[in-house]
Amino acid sequence: MGKGRMDKLLDTKFHDPYMDKTIYKDPTICPVCKLVYHDKTWHRDAVLYKKYKDHPATHFKECPACRKIKDNFPLGIVILEGNFIKNNQNAKQEILNLIRHEAEKEELSNPLARIMKIEEKEGFIEIWTTTEGLASKIGKAVHKAHHGELNFTFSDDQKLLRIYWRRES
């Protein structure tokens, strides 16, 4: 099965400045979240962490996700709005639970995919993510579960995906 249009759009040519693998030596442990960089990949693995945490060759440096969070540098922004969530506390809570569940699922396959923040503002909810893939999955999951309108907007000059979901009733 080939890639869909949205997946092809996510394969944008913009470079994620935080994913420069040349700055990480093998093994590296993130002192903030305890991810381990090993064999050119980040892992959330208790066995690897235990193996390398006291190893003399281990380097300690914040992982790309922790750096993005510290620098407030999202690659995905999801905006959820409309009377459906503004006037329905149960629906809003269900959507927030769905968002957290999607993030937990995504982090199993990509430990660098994280929610940076969820802010409830006047009339809408804004979610920042460390990857555009997580933002896309959140938007699609909310749309699948609650319908409404879903729009994807890609930045013309940087690696950033904005997703807008709206439902009035």
Quick one: tokens of 10? 């996510």
The pLDDT of 19-37, averaged and rounded, is 93
More confident residue, 169 or 118: 118
The domain segmentation of the chain, as residue ranges, is 15-69, 74-166
CATH class of 74-166: alpha beta
Confidence (pTM): 0.88
58 pLDDT above the threshold of 80: yes
The pLDDT of 128-138, averaged and rounded, is 97
Whole-number pLDDT of residue 13:
53
pLDDT in tens, 93-120: 999 999 999 999 999 999 999 999 999 9
User: Which band of pLDDT confidence, cut at 50, 70 and 90, is reported for residue 14?
Assistant: low
Tokens 């990480």 belong to residue: 24
